[in-house]
Amino acid sequence: MAVKLPIYMDYHATTPVDPRVVEAMLPYFTQHFGNAASRNHPFGWEAEEAVDKARKQVADLIGANAKEIVFTSGATESDNLAIKGAAEMYREKGNHIITCVTEHKAVIDTCKRLEKDGYRVTYLPVQKDGRISLDGLRAAISDKTILISIMTANNEIGVIQPIAEIGAIAKEKGILFHTDAVQAVGKIPFNVNDLKVDMASISAHKMYGPKGVGALYVRRRNPRVLLAPQIDGGGHERGMRSGTLNVTGIVGFGKAAELCRLEMVADTARLSALRDRLNARLHKGLDEIYINGSTEHRLPHNLNISFAYVEGESLLMGINDVAVSSGSACTSASLEPSYVLKALGAGDDLAHSSIRFGLGRWSTEEEVDYVADKLTNVVTRLREMSPLYELAKEGVDLSTMQWQTEGQH
């Protein structure tokens, strides 16, 4: 079977909407278009009913109660609401927040904003496998700590943090625990009670739902989490997030969540087999390629590989009929490579040589084989024109070489 080009292998960035989700959404554009807050006519009632159903569908996916789901515009807003809302609400209890260096920018930049407002933030380092050290977390906790925010799975390297263990520590110390679970929910089992999570950010478009809608799970008992709203208005979503509900998007989110819940086991088995096939085929064709992050604690559909001696952007150029992303950003004078890969301590050169593959519901074996073979060819060609590959083959240790950078970078 011929592969259809271009191939999409960037499912961590976003996913196509499942046709079954689109179908569920369609009537809510034109027929059932009511405002869910309109309490005195059937148009409003229909919309509210649809939102309630979706709320239950999302809650069921993460083992929560429907009342604990706050709909938002997406996970960035959810992260902002969780962290800023908790920081503001519990300011009298303390001013210290613990997070991690490999978090998404929606968490890191939110924490940086809070630092300007007088909060103190600890950014925990990660170990070589991309996971935080639990001893490091314990050591960072003080009597001023009010919140721990650690992502469930990383968006670049797919590494899964020890969430249940972090949840247990947070519970023991009486500290709120938020997790950005965007990449994990719908892909791997995630239960807010088993994991002892107090808040979790979720996004619809990462799980075959529409863009522009997400949720924040906010625990209602043991403990009852209170958040200072970050958007004021009509008091929607238990007063935590005002604004007319995106009914159509929420319906799609609900349907997407239901599909993920029902199909997760089969999807995971299929995708991890495809991912392993991609990895094996690349390793067969090429030497000196390295997987970034833990292979054990990892999303089933993620692969992040550094192809030594070859720069990521030139690699992408050679596979321009394949949509993947690179940890190298050769787009500014500073040429900063991925901060996530740098945090693993792999060395900037390997960070510049990395490609992230994200497989998904419509990935096929043929696509995987095509991508692996094409990459093997391109890497081989680029290595032939790489001075680093030549030096390495001559036995030069690149890490001890003096580089002439003219002070421009």
Partner 1 sequence: MAYSTKVIDHYENPRNVGSLPKEDPNVGTGLVGAPECGDVMKLQVKVNPSTGVIDDAKFKTFGCGSAIASSSLATEWLKGKTVDEALAIKNTDIVTELSLPPVKIHCSVLAEDAIKAAIADYKKKQDSSAEKGADTHAQPTA
Active site residues: 330
Task: Name which of 115 and 321 has its Cβ closer to partner 1.
Answer: 321
Contact predicate 253/217, CB 8 Å: no
Amino acid at the residue 315: L
CB of 279 to partner 1, least distance (A): 24
CB of 329 to partner 1, least distance (A): 8
DSSP class of residue 40 equals S
Task: Name which of 244 and 320 has its Cβ closer to partner 1.
Answer: 320
Place of tokens 């935080």: 132
Q: Tally helices (H) and strands (E) across the chain.
A: 13, 13
User: Structure tokens of 407?
Assistant: 């002070």
User: Structure tokens of 264?
Assistant: 């997760």
CB of 102 to partner 1, least distance (A): 19
Query: Cα(355)–Cα(279) distance, rounded to whole angstroms?
Result: 12
β-bridge pairing 69-72 and 325-326: unpaired
Task: Name which of 30 and 405 has its Cβ closer to partner 1.
Answer: 405
For 329, list phi and psi in degrees, rounded to 5: -125, 85
Helix (H) or strand (E) holding 30: helix 27-30
Task: Name which of 313 and 321 has its Cβ closer to partner 1.
Answer: 313
CB of 400 to partner 1, least distance (A): 12
Across-strand partners of 159?
298
CB of 384 to partner 1, least distance (A): 7
CB of 119 to partner 1, least distance (A): 32
User: Structure tokens of 194?
Assistant: 């088993």
From residue 259, give the alpha-carbon distance in Å to each of 54, 145, 189, 256.
Answer: 12, 38, 14, 5
Task: Name which of 42 and 345 has its Cβ closer to partner 1.
Answer: 345
CB of 360 to partner 1, least distance (A): 25
For residues 136-155, b (16+ Cβ closer than 10 Å) or e, as one string?
Answer: ebeebbeeebbbbbbbbbbb
x-or-dash string of contact with partner 1, 326-365, rule CB under 8 A? --x-xxxx-x-x---------xxx--x-------------
x-or-dash string of contact with partner 1, 380-409, rule CB under 8 A? ----xxxxxxx-------x----xxxx-xx
CB of 347 to partner 1, least distance (A): 7
Q: How far is CA 388 from the centre of its chain?
A: 33
β-bridge pairing 176-180 and 145-149: parallel
Q: Side by side, which strands form the sheet with 289-291?
A: 289-291, 302-307, 354-358, 325-326
Q: Tell me how many residues contact partner 1 (CB under 8 A).
A: 32
x-or-dash string of contact with partner 1, 306-325, rule CB under 8 A? ---xxx-xx--xx-------
Angle at alpha carbon of residue 313, lines to 311 and 319, rounded to 5°: 105
Task: Name which of 122 and 386 has its Cβ closer to partner 1.
Answer: 386
Binding segment for partner 1 (CB under 8 A), chosen from 4-12, 145-153, 192-200, 378-386, is 378-386
Phi-psi region of 212 (alpha: psi -120 to 50; beta: other; left: phi over 0): left
Task: Name which of 76 and 376 has its Cβ closer to partner 1.
Answer: 376
User: Which among 350, 259, 215 has a CA at the least distance from the CA of 22?
Assistant: 259
Task: Name which of 209 and 337 has its Cβ closer to partner 1.
Answer: 337
SS3 of 380-407: HHHHHCCHHHHHHHCCCCHHHCCCCCCC
User: In the range 85-144, which residues lie near partner 1 by CB under 8 A?
Assistant: none
CB atoms closer than 10 angstroms to residue 83: 29
User: In the range 181-220, which residues lie near partner 1 by CB under 8 A?
Assistant: none
Binding site for partner 1 (CB under 8 A): 309-311, 313-314, 317-318, 328, 330-333, 335, 337, 347-349, 352, 384-390, 398, 403-406, 408-409
